[in-house]
Amino acid sequence: MYDFCLIFSEIYILLCINFLLIYGVLFSTSFEKGYPNVNFNIACLCIQITLVSILILFFSLNCTAFIWNQLLMYNFFTHKIKLVLLISFIVWISLSLFYTLYEKLNSFEYWILSLLAIVFMIFLTESCDLLSMYLFIECQSLILYILASFKRTSEFSTESGLKYFILGAFSSALLLFGSSILYSLTGLTSFDDYTKLFSGLLLADTVLNSGIVLGSLIMCISLLFKISSAPFHIWSPDVYEGSSTSSTLFFSIFPKFSVLILFIRFCFLGFYDFFYSWQKITFFCTYLSIFVGTFGAFSQKKWKRFLAYSSISHVGFILLSFSTGELEGIFSIIFYILTYIILTFGTFSFLINLRYYYFPVHYQVRYIKDIISLFEINSMLAFSLTLLLFSIAGLPPLLGFFSKAFVLLTALQSNLYSLAFFSVIMSCIACFYYIRLIKLMHFDKTLHLLVLYPLNKLNSVFLSFLITLSTFLFLDLELFLVFSANVSLLF
């Protein structure tokens, strides 16, 4: 009974997806005049389904239990993570709806696939077994490959989907290989069983010890690839650039969020006794991610590649909390992820809305140079982007500053002085390319001012709300701190 009750929101979404498919197929193949806009209607229905599933979560049982033969784990932690995922999905649909109309992505399957991916991501955050972990990662990844190449009229989109598929298949092979090593040595697949086996146990067999370390490290590498951590970031800039902007926004938030939650459970629940083994690879990836993300963004001329390298740098800061190996680090990870979601939504809401007229059509900006003299064209939009960039750079007292400060304080408490000092220096260097964008908007001049396409009302409301959060949330930071602390303590 509890197996169904605790995942009733996911079951509800899966049932609704079947009805959405029937509705989409029936009306999209109809030749009668005046049939409704199927693409727009299904997007609105996805929002409605997500809202109802959030209501179901509010009235669901609040308990801790292993369900479905210990393949999934339900507790306060996963309950709140599901809420964050579903609310973020509503924001994503709202920001992407008009973009898909402008870019003529008139396929109702786009929204259904996205909703299905969210369901698998929710299951992934609840996974506590090697079998369920691999199954849901693969189901999630297959949908992401489709979304990357969804714009069939674009060669860049097809190329990004192919690159993502090839490199993603290699990552999945590593995940399966590491899982097979662990299972062959221990005969276990559940994270809870691994905790009981390794708890206070010093393995005398050197071969067995080395095999478990090797298997866990291979799985860590596969998960680090999924979150585009350097040096496993090769796919990220190309996939971001070739995909449609709405898909790029989806890749920037949801897969990374779900895999990071799984990474927390894998490292801190299943293999915490092998901390000194996986700490080395997180050390290395932290240094390299912050370095590559910072200096890689300097040479970029296109918006989406620039944001890809910026996200790699953010992943480095998240891994900095992983490297501490302390349970207090989970708090800083959750806080940083929530801040990253707000700032990413804000940046992409600006990018999606920034369209210029080139008579008789309008097009979305692709190059960073297109924001030259934006202050003269639309001063409020330029000021909004300035606040977002300052927050991403980590300038006080904006929200981005506190997220980095908590991560660095956690590192200092764990005596990781060199890593904290390196992160501060790289963060200071990163401020220069954010300031470069502000210089282009406010101080550089051009002889040919572009005509800006008006922002739609819904996206303008979301942009103003996200900017307000990133700018003024420091006045009552306890709203975030209490949520992050409660989630991390009940992990």
What is the residue whose two structure tokens read 């999606």?
A: 352
pLDDT score of 206: 62
Instruction: Give me 151's structure tokens.
Output: 């714009």
According to DSSP, residue 367 is labeled: B
**Least reliable range by pLDDT among 49-58, 188-197, 199-208, 402-411:** 199-208
Q: What is the pLDDT of residue 38?
A: 83
Structural domain count, the chain:
1
Compute the distance between CA of residue 419 and CA of residue 152 in angstroms, rounded to an integer: 44
What's the pLDDT at 483? 62
**Mean pLDDT, range 439-445, rounded to an integer:** 84
The residue that leads in pLDDT, 55 or 67, is 55
Mean pLDDT score of the chain: 84
Burial class of residue 280, CB neighbours in 10 A (0-12, 13-18, 19+): exposed
Is pLDDT at 155 greater than 90 in this prediction? no
pTM of model > 0.85: yes
Is residue 120 a contact partner of residue 139, using CB atoms and an 8 Å limit? yes
Task: Report how far residue 85's alpha carbon sits from residue 256's, in angstroms, rounded to the nearest whole number.
Answer: 11
**% helix, strand, coil for the chain, step of 5:** 75, 5, 20
Gap between the Cα atoms of 184 and 204, Å rounded? 18
pLDDT at 481: 62
Q: How does DSSP classify residue 476?
A: G
Q: Cα dist. 349→63, 343, 366, 371 in Å?
A: 37, 10, 14, 15
* Cβ proximity of 355 and 364 under 8 Å: yes
CA 268, CA 332: separation in Å to the nearest integer? Answer: 14
pLDDT tens digits, 298-345: 888 888 899 999 999 999 999 988 888 777 778 888 889 989 999 999
How far apart are the C-alpha atoms of 144 and 136, rounded to whole Å?
12
Model pLDDT, residue 116: 94
Give CA–CA dist 78/120, Å, rounded.
Answer: 13
Place of tokens 């070739």: 242
Comparing C-alpha atoms, which of 376, 297, 391, 402 is closest to residue 345?
391
Q: Mutual orientation of helices 76-102 and 478-489 as an angle, nearest 10°? A: 120
pLDDT of residue 259: 92
* Helices 328-353 and 379-393: angle between axes, nearest 10 degrees: 160
* pLDDT band, very low/low/confident/very high, at 34 (cuts 50, 70, 90): very low
User: What gap in Å lies between CA 126 and CA 329, rounded to an integer?
Assistant: 20
pLDDT tens digit sequence for 222-270: 999 999 888 888 888 889 988 888 899 999 999 999 999 999 888 888 7
Percentage of the chain modeled with pLDDT above 70? 92
Residue with tokens 């740098």: 313
- 343-369 pLDDT, tens per residue? 999 899 888 888 887 777 777 888 888
String of b and e for 213-246 (b: at least 16 CB within 10 Å)?
A: bbbbbbbbbbbbbbbbbbebbebbbbbbbbbbbb
Q: Per-residue confidence at 145, pLDDT binned at 50, 70, 90?
A: very high
Domain of 171, in residue numbers: 2-489
Residue 25 one-letter amino acid = V
pLDDT higher than 70, residue 274: yes
pLDDT at 187 over 50: yes
Omega cis (within 30) before 36 = no
Please, what is the Cα angle at 184 between 181 and 190, to 5 degrees?
A: 85
Residue 61 phi/psi, 5-degree rounding, is -70, 140
How many whole angstroms separate alpha carbon 180 and alpha carbon 25? 41
User: What does the pLDDT read at residue 69?
Assistant: 83
Residue 47 has pLDDT above 90, yes or no: yes
